[in-house]
Amino acid sequence: MLSPENTNTPNSQDAVSDSFENIFREERPRLWRLIRFRLNPGIRHHVDTEDILQDVFIEASRLYADYLNGNSLAPYLWLRQIALETLRDVHRTHMGTQQSATERESYSDLPPTDAASSPLVRLVAAVTTPSAVAIRQETKVIVDQALQRLNETDWEVIQLRQFEELTNSEVAEVLKISVTAASIRYVRALERLKDIVETLPDFRQD
């Protein structure tokens, strides 16, 4: 009854949008994390992570056909670019400046507390399983302070690997370095992070 054109065209479109939605659904948590951590704390009251994610979704679905036609980026990295651009726009609108969304910001928006002793030393020393990591605010504050003191290269790689949860090869692709170099860079950054934590004034050995 129906002509082949009539049945095929919507089907293939469905397939395209279907696969887009699948990709987006798959990458949604990582994108959420990216936006949450890179959104300037000063405007978190005005815009919600979920709203920005919605904008990213609309923009990405508009560009998806182009992406399929000519982009060699991995899907997440492509979505990530769109998310970063969307964030940049959001910051521009709300802050009236050209502030880059990638500008280094406090990872934690919790007010610093006076950490009387160092939970991290205990954690780092005693922890053997992830669940044994007591989720404590001081740890957060201390790690945040240490992150602020890292140099740009180290900070970036930790940001990508940890807070955006990119895989090593994705990091290599973003930074345009070899997989081995990315891996080594990450390990050294972690070691430096730990060294910095240990020199922080809050970190006491007794």
Partner 1 sequence: MSRSLSDLHELQSLSSEERDELLGRLAEEFEFRIRRGECPLVAEYTERYPDLAADIESVFTTIVTLEGIKADDARDAEGRVSLAGGRVDQLGEYRVVREISRGGMGIVFEAEQVSLQRRVALKVLPRRMILQTEERDRFEREAQLAASLHHSNIVPVHGCGTDDGYQFYAMQLIDGTSLNELQEHELTSKRVAEIGVQVAGALHYAHKQGVMHRDIKPENLIEDQNGRIWITDFGLAADSTSVSDGGAGGTKKYMAPERATGLCKAPADVFSLGMTLQTLLSDLAEDSVSPDLTAVIDRAIDHNWQNRYQTAGELAEDLQRFLDHWPVKARKLSWFGRGLRLTRRNPALSVCLGLLFGLAWVMAILSHRNYLQSEQQKLQLFGKMSVVDALFQSNYPGRDKLSQLSEVKDSRSTQIADPTLDDHITMLRYLPDTKIDRLTDLSPDLIRAAIAARRDVGQAKKHLGRLTDARRALQYALQATDRWMFKCNTTSPFSPETTEAVLSAATLRNDLSAVLEEEMKLDEAEVLRNEALGLLDRIPLPKRNSTEYAEQLAEAHLGLGTFRPERVGLFGIWYQLDVAGHDFTIKETRETDHLDAALNVLQVSSLMHVPRIKTLIARTLVERIRWKRMLGTSWHHDDRRAEELMRELTLEFPRQANYRYVYSIVLANIRLPWDPITRTEYEIIRLRLERSLELVHSLTQNQPRRTDYIQTEVDVRHLLAELAIRCTVEGDTKLDFEVAVSMQGYLNESMTAGFSGHVRKSLLEWRFAEWLDFNEKHDQAETYRDYARQQFQLISSHDSSEPCVVAAREIIIDGTRTLTSLTERVAVGPEKTQQTE
Which residues lie near partner 1 (CB under 8 A)? Answer: 25, 28-33, 36, 49-50, 53, 108, 113, 115-117, 119-131, 133-140, 143, 158, 161-163, 165, 167-168, 180, 182-184, 186-188, 190-191, 193-194, 205
What contacts 36, CB < 8 A, 6 or more positions away? 49
Query: Residue for token digits 């930074």?
Result: 175
CA 133 to chain centre: 22
Q: Which amino acid is at 142?
A: I
Token representation of residue 56: 């990213």
Pick 29 or 65: Cβ nearer partner 1: 29
The residue among 2 and 116 lying less far from partner 1, judged by its C-beta, is 116
Q: Work out the widest C-alpha separation in the chain, in whole angstroms.
A: 83
Residue closer to partner 1 by CB (options 43, 184) is: 184
Residue 140 CB coordination number (10 Å): 18
For 133, which DSSP code?
Answer: S
Nearer to partner 1, 71 or 123 (CB): 123
Is the CB of 9 or the CB of 44 nearer to partner 1?
44
Q: How far is the CB of 44 from partner 1 (least distance, A)?
A: 11
Which backbone phi and psi does 52 adopt, to 5 degrees? -65, -40
| Shortest Å distance, C-beta 189 to partner 1 | 10
Q: Is 123 left (phi over 0), alpha (psi -120 to 50) or beta?
A: alpha
Give me the amino acid identity at 13. Q
